[in-house]
Amino acid sequence: MRSGRAQTALEFMMSNSLVIVLIILLVMALVYLGSINTESSPHSCFFQGIFACRAYSLYADDASIAFELQQLSGKAMLVTAVSCTSSAEPNFQALASPVTLQNGIYGRISGGPSGNTISCSPQPARRGELFRGNLCVEYREADSPAPRTICGILLTPAE
């Protein structure tokens, strides 16, 4: 009878260890595929309404920001100025090359090939320091000369 209990215990250990190995493999696969974010710093660029932000980076050297913006209004828009600040009041910087955003298509507003440089204030002291602030965009709709503004939230570490 003693061998019956040993066999049961061995079967129990084998089935449980197999489940544990499968769970470890699943977690490793999720981390590898990027489904589980292992970064400790939060990243966020969020606009309410018809705008979306992506491919954003804040550079510690000169506090410049690079980002792309999309709008879903149904008509073209011209982005003319941007403000990136941690204060409540926007401080707009005119774009050297205003950017036309077609409906549903991302456009590079600053950094890279856009020809525009926007600095955020206050400047991060060092790489990895978290910047929390407002990213505001001044734009005009294609059929209206009146400028409008929309502000979003930017939360990203400096690179």
Q: What is the pLDDT of residues 95-128, one digit of tens each?
A: 999 999 999 999 999 998 999 999 998 887 688 8
Report, in this order, helix, strand and coil percent for the chain, each rounded to 5: 20, 45, 35
Beta bridge partners of 154: 45, 133
What band does 80 get if pLDDT is binned at 50, 70 and 90? very high
**pLDDT at position 2:** 61
**Residue 144: pLDDT over 90:** no
**pLDDT at position 38:** 54
What band does 36 get if pLDDT is binned at 50, 70 and 90? low
**Residue 33: pLDDT over 80:** no
What angle is formed at CA 122 by the lines to CA 107 and CA 50, rounded to 5 degrees? Answer: 30
Instruction: Classify 14 as helix, strand or coil.
Output: helix
Handedness of CA 114, 116, 120, 123 (dihedral sign): positive
Which residues have a Cβ under 8 Å from the Cβ of 94 and sit 6 or more positions away? 80, 81
**Residue 82: pLDDT over 70:** yes
What band does 53 get if pLDDT is binned at 50, 70 and 90? very high
**pLDDT at position 4:** 75
**Residue 133: pLDDT over 80:** yes
43 neighbors 156 (Cβ within 8 angstroms): yes
Size of the chain, expressed as the number of residues it contains: 159
**pLDDT at position 37:** 56
DSSP per residue over 43-75, as a string? Answer: -EEEESSSEEEEEEEE-TTT-EEEEEEEE-SSS
Taking all residues of the chain, what is their mean pLDDT, rounded to a whole number?
87
Instruction: Classify 32 as helix, strand or coil.
Output: helix
**pLDDT at position 92:** 96
